[in-house]
Amino acid sequence: MSTSLVDADLILALDIGTITTRAILFDVVEGRYRFLGAGTTPTTANAPVGDISEGVRLALDQLEDITGRRLIGPDGQLAIPALADGSGVDACVATLSVGPPIRVVAIGLLEHLSAESARNLATTTYAEVLETLSLNDKRLTAARLDTLLSLRPDLVVIAGGAEGGASESVLNLLEAVGLACYVLPKEQRPEVLYAGNSALGQKVKESLGGLASLHIAPNVRPSLDIEQLTPSQPVLSQVFRQVRARQMRGVAEIDRWAGNRLTPTAAAFGRTIRFISKEYAHTNKGVLGIDVGASSTTVAAGYAGDLILSIYTQLGLGQNLPQMLQLCKIEDIQRWLAIEISNQELLDYIHNKAAFPGSLPAGPTELAIEQALACQAVHLAIRQAMQTYPSHLPRPFPDFLPSFEPIIASGSAFTRAPLRSQALLMLLNALQPTGITTLALDRNSLAAVLGAAAAVAPLLTIQSLDSTNFLNLCTVISPVGHAPFGAPVLRLHLTTPDKQEANLEVKFGTLEVIKLPPGQNGTLTLSPLHRFDVGLGGPGRGGTLKVIGGTLGVVIDARGRPLRFSADPGRRRDMHKKWLALFDA
Amino acid sequence: MYAPITHILAGTSFRRERLLPMSGRVLARRGQLVSAIDVVAEAVLNPEHMLLDIARGLGVSAKQADKLLQCKSGDEVGEGDILAGRLGMGRRVVRAPFPGRVMVAGEGQVLLQLDGQPQELKAGYPGLVVDLIGERGVIIETTGALIQGVWGNGRINYGLLSIQALAPDALLAAEQLDVSLRGTVIFGGICIDERALLAAEDLPVRGMILASMDSALVPLALRLSYPIVLIEGFGHLPLNPQAFKLLASSERREAALNAEPWNRLAGTRPEIILTAPSQTAHQPPLDTATYSTGQTVRIIHRPYQGQLGMLAAVYPGQIRLPSGIAAPAADVRLENGELVLIPLANLEIIN
């Protein structure tokens, strides 16, 4: 070992997604963790294999071929810790997102307080909240019992009672849960997560401990006006593991390899965003992470080490894709398309994609459709997530996206986009950022596994949060204000250390690009017109800032907030084509 | 790399588990011959409960009430049966308001599960019950032709097959559905007209096999009482030649449709069984396979969705597709002779 700071040399990261399973190997070279290689195979959760460990082994086989290292021991198990002959690894971390949403019933004292917090806690993992029970619904215990039995949840989340507050009412609500567990056969009983008044923990154990698999977490609603979800999330991750281990073969084995730290992918992704937000605390802005996958869309907002994690299982791009149409109209997806396709054809595409969630867009038309679907998923997810953000967070434009620096995009819709400009436009259209921010791409799809690795090798996480893995797409300046289309709204002057200069007058309704090679420094002077706000302290206020060039340079998005499209489909498609043509990558 | 398989087999023998979602009563016997709609098991899936306050009913404390209980957990009780109280004339008692089963008795309360209407589990497949699975269900062995579908509306039925599509891309029209088709299973090609689905409901038919259907018809299809199975998917997708040949040559043959939704985790999917005249055992369908040249494959995604072809070459590593995406891919020789590059993710082996 070349540095005492390193906890483990050879680290294996497993990422088991809905469609693909990856095995990634890191080793320490000259005191720094380096990516050695990755093996990728289709996930094998589905029948006829029905065992995720099989896909993991196939990915490890590939990884062994690529790296020339033996990872699996003679007993067919991952050799951990590494053996004397050099085979095996020092540590293993794993993330998991495959599987149907966990079926949850949320219980709280009051519908809009603790019951809502119980719901909110559930949605920080891959869950579908089927029903909420509270004192407000005035149901009798037997009716609550019938509800629980008919829904057959995988998990019951119970909140209620501020610290030092109500106790008897909380215990009354538990009666139906206890009866449901008593009535159900042991193998069908739900996991129960109690995250209410901590003073009742012992009584809850006495009441439910013998009947249910009970987990106690910190109170998610310690007082009427405070909701704290983050401290309970590790317990929720543990419950997630147990539910998945009951649902799928191989989960228990992989969890064992990972030292009982198998993490929901979204939680691990959130951990990385929280970690980065500490580094960016000086900006007084949050860090935003977006991860679009086949099973869900995750929105993680980190504020100086605090995390707001939202997972939308109805906004996955796989089997549950038709659920998106319960949240928007087909025309809302059409607006992102630069190609002509009928609503019926688009609808058929969505249903066919749901039937074959692992299929790939082979041609340009299919790619355009999938990018439009990803764009709409992110758009819907961020709109929902914004409603949950506390009002005290920095939000210069209350109706629009809060200030974030940077915004990080993950998921194959972005990372596999053949052109970086396609990824950029998906992000700009879906998120519609305001002011000044940086857009980055988790190009090797490592954000989640790095979050999982933070528990065993924090140095790996720290050293991997660089431009090798997080590609700086561009700095985006999005002026906000009102002006006629075509009116100049921003004058911009760029100088580089080698005395190169560029001047630009930006008109309202346009998207502009200034070339600044990746990594090159520049100084931007911004002079907004018409009292437009560029995020430098208020309407009409300009200033000078340092920027670093990204793959796509510096982008000025003066198309207006919110984005408005022409009612004429032909003109709208032409605009999309024009915007894409601005970029050469 | 495991390759997904879809079965289009003229003759095979296979087994399927049919399970209740919870414990119930298995009605079928081992060795019994069943049709697709025979009920093999039943369970009260959503029982109602009553929590009776015995202490209050008797006007005593919970502790005293427990001493006066006349029932215990697991007892079946009829309406009016005494649950608690001192027996004898004029004594105060608590009676069961409805028939049911005592689930819990104690602490001054009795939890009564009321008798409910059991829900039935149909066999789904014609064949022989070869095994019973505890209180959950059965395993059925079936022999015949098997065609696996992509989407189903959740219904089960069987009947004699009537071919209404004379070509793989024939459109089903409402006018085709006359009274002579009552009680049959229709093979209808492509359906884009809700009137055709409604006309079939009016007859009624016992089932409908389609190559594809407009996705806008999904909500209606889910409400209909007869099973619908799509073999290719949504939109205007013609039926693949192999399935068309098999169906077109099976007029008046008994067809059983299990139109259960495709659940990849559980391994269940919509299936059509054309019953064999004899129960002679055939080769079981392949469970797993890997891609290799010479295999017959179906393309499951645009732009060649629904077409069959032969794997001409499987490339190592990642290949750049026309979309610009890089992925493992293969050359597929289509039936018209054209050679096309298709990502492996868009292929399935036709067994």
pLDDT tens, residue by residue, A389-403: 877 777 778 889 998
Q: Does residue A3 fall inside a structural domain?
A: no
Domains of chain B with CATH codes:
5-43+121-275 (3.50.30), 49-114 (2.40.50), 296-350 (2.30.30)
Q: Do both A282 and A186 map to the same domain?
A: no
A248 touches chain B (CB under 8 A): yes
Q: Do both A393 and A416 map to the same domain?
A: yes
Q: Which residue of B has its CA nearest to A413?
A: B325
Q: Does residue A250 fall inside a structural domain?
A: no
Say if the Cβ atoms of A362 and B50 lie within 8 Å.
no
Q: Do both A92 and A123 map to the same domain?
A: no
Residue B312 corresponds to which amino acid? Answer: A
- Residue B195, token pair as written in the block: 């009137």
Say if the Cβ atoms of A44 and B2 lie within 8 Å.
yes
Of B234, B300, B304, B305, which to mutate for an interface test with A (greatest number of A Cβ within 10 Å)?
B234
B113 touches chain A (CB under 8 A): yes
A142 touches chain B (CB under 8 A): yes
Cβ-contact A154, A90 below 8 angstroms:
no
- Look at residue A56 in the predicted model and tell me its pLDDT: 97
Cβ-contact B342, B299 below 8 angstroms:
yes
- Look at residue A31 in the predicted model and tell me its pLDDT: 86
pLDDT digits (tens, 9 = 90+) for B120-148: 999 999 999 999 999 999 999 999 999 99
Q: Does residue A252 fall inside a structural domain?
A: no
Q: Which residue of B has its CA nearest to A188?
A: B22
Q: Which residues of A touch B341 (CB under 8 A)?
A: 362
Separation CA A520–CA A192 (nearest Å):
53
Cβ-contact B60, B53 below 8 angstroms:
no
pLDDT tens sequence for chain A (585 residues): 344 445 678 999 999 999 999 999 999 988 899 999 999 999 999 999 999 999 999 999 999 999 999 999 888 899 998 888 878 999 999 999 999 999 999 999 988 899 999 999 999 999 999 999 998 888 899 999 999 999 999 999 999 888 877 677 888 889 999 999 999 988 899 999 999 999 999 999 998 988 999 999 999 999 988 899 999 999 999 999 999 999 999 999 999 999 999 999 999 999 999 999 998 888 888 999 999 999 999 999 999 989 999 999 999 999 999 999 999 999 999 999 999 999 999 999 999 999 999 999 999 999 999 999 999 999 999 999 998 887 777 777 888 999 899 999 999 999 999 999 999 999 999 999 999 999 999 999 999 999 999 989 999 999 998 888 999 999 999 999 999 999 999 999 999 998 889 999 999 999 999 999 999 999 999 999 999 999 998 999 999 999 999 999 999 999 999 999 999 999 999 999 999 999 987
Q: Do both A106 and A90 map to the same domain?
A: no
Which residues does B166 contact at the CB level (< 8 Å), separation at least 6?
B248
Parallel, antiparallel, or unpaired for β A191-194 and A155-158?
Answer: parallel
Could you say which of A96, A129, A151 is where a domain stops?
Answer: A96
Which residues does B209 contact at the CB level (< 8 Å), separation at least 6?
B147, B161, B185, B186, B187, B188, B228, B229, B231, B247, B255, B257, B272
Separation CA A305–CA A276 (nearest Å):
8
Q: Do both A422 and A552 map to the same domain?
A: yes
Q: Do both A199 and A276 map to the same domain?
A: no
Cβ-contact A276, A308 below 8 angstroms:
no
* Positive or negative torsion for Cα B85, B87, B91, B93: positive
Q: Which residues of B touch A99 (CB under 8 A)?
A: 265
Total-model pTM: 0.94
Average pLDDT estimate for B236-257: 97
Separation CA B350–CA B7 (nearest Å):
6
As to burial, measured by CB atoms within 10 angstroms (0-12 exposed, 13-18 middle, 19+ buried), residue B52 is buried
Q: Which residues of A touch B215 (CB under 8 A)?
A: 344, 347-348, 350-351
Q: Which residues of A touch B346 (CB under 8 A)?
A: 356, 359-360, 362
Of A184, A348, A443, which to mutate for an interface test with B (greatest number of B Cβ within 10 Å)?
A348
Q: Do both A189 and A308 map to the same domain?
A: no
- pLDDT more than 70, % of chain A: 98
Give chain A's domain count.
3
Q: Do both A387 and A273 map to the same domain?
A: yes
Q: Do both A445 and A565 map to the same domain?
A: yes
Q: Do both A512 and A548 map to the same domain?
A: yes
Which residues does A313 contact at the CB level (< 8 Å), separation at least 6?
A101, A126, A127, A128, A295, A296, A320
* Among the listed residues B244, B234, B236, B230, the one whose alpha carbon sits nearest the alpha carbon of residue B335: B244
- Residue A350, token pair as written in the block: 């969505």
- Look at residue A389 in the predicted model and tell me its pLDDT: 86
- Residue A320, token pair as written in the block: 């549950």
B17 touches chain A (CB under 8 A): no
Could you say which of A96, A120, A140 is where a domain stops?
Answer: A96
* Among the listed residues A500, A504, A472, A470, the one whose alpha carbon sits nearest the alpha carbon of residue A490: A504
Q: Do both A331 and A308 map to the same domain?
A: yes
Q: Does residue A432 fall inside a structural domain?
A: yes
Coil, helix or strand for A412? helix
Domain enclosing residue A166, as ranges: 102-238
Q: Do both A128 and A77 map to the same domain?
A: no
Q: Does residue A6 fall inside a structural domain?
A: no
Could you say which of A80, A96, A112 is where a domain stops?
Answer: A96
Of B48, B302, B340, which to mutate for an interface test with A (greatest number of A Cβ within 10 Å)?
B302
Name the β-bridge partners of B78. none
**Residues across chain A:** 585
- How close B305 comes to chain A (CA, Å)? 10
pLDDT digits (tens, 9 = 90+) for B4-53: 999 999 999 999 999 999 889 999 999 999 999 999 999 998 889 999 99
Cα–chain center distance at B14: 16
Of A62, A351, A580, which to mutate for an interface test with B (greatest number of B Cβ within 10 Å)?
A351
DSSP state of B170: P
pLDDT digits (tens, 9 = 90+) for B289-318: 999 999 999 999 999 999 999 999 999 999
Cα–chain center distance at A460: 20
A79 touches chain B (CB under 8 A): no
- Look at residue B282 in the predicted model and tell me its pLDDT: 76
Q: Does residue A288 fall inside a structural domain?
A: yes
DSSP state of B317: S
Q: Does residue A253 fall inside a structural domain?
A: no
pLDDT digits (tens, 9 = 90+) for B29-40: 999 999 999 999
Cβ-contact A251, A112 below 8 angstroms:
no
> What dihedral do alpha carbons A339, B328, A254, A49 form, nearest 10°?
100
Q: Does residue A254 fall inside a structural domain?
A: no
Q: Which residues of A touch B302 (CB under 8 A)?
A: 349, 352, 362-363, 365-366
CATH of the domain at A178: 3.40.50.280
Separation CA A185–CA A437 (nearest Å):
54
In angstroms, the Cα distances linking A172 to A108, A114, A176, A469 are 11, 15, 8, 51
What is the residue-averaged pLDDT of chain B? 94
Say if the Cβ atoms of B302 and A363 lie within 8 Å.
yes
Q: Which residues of A touch B46 (CB under 8 A)?
A: 146, 149-150
CATH of the domain at A66: 3.30.420.40
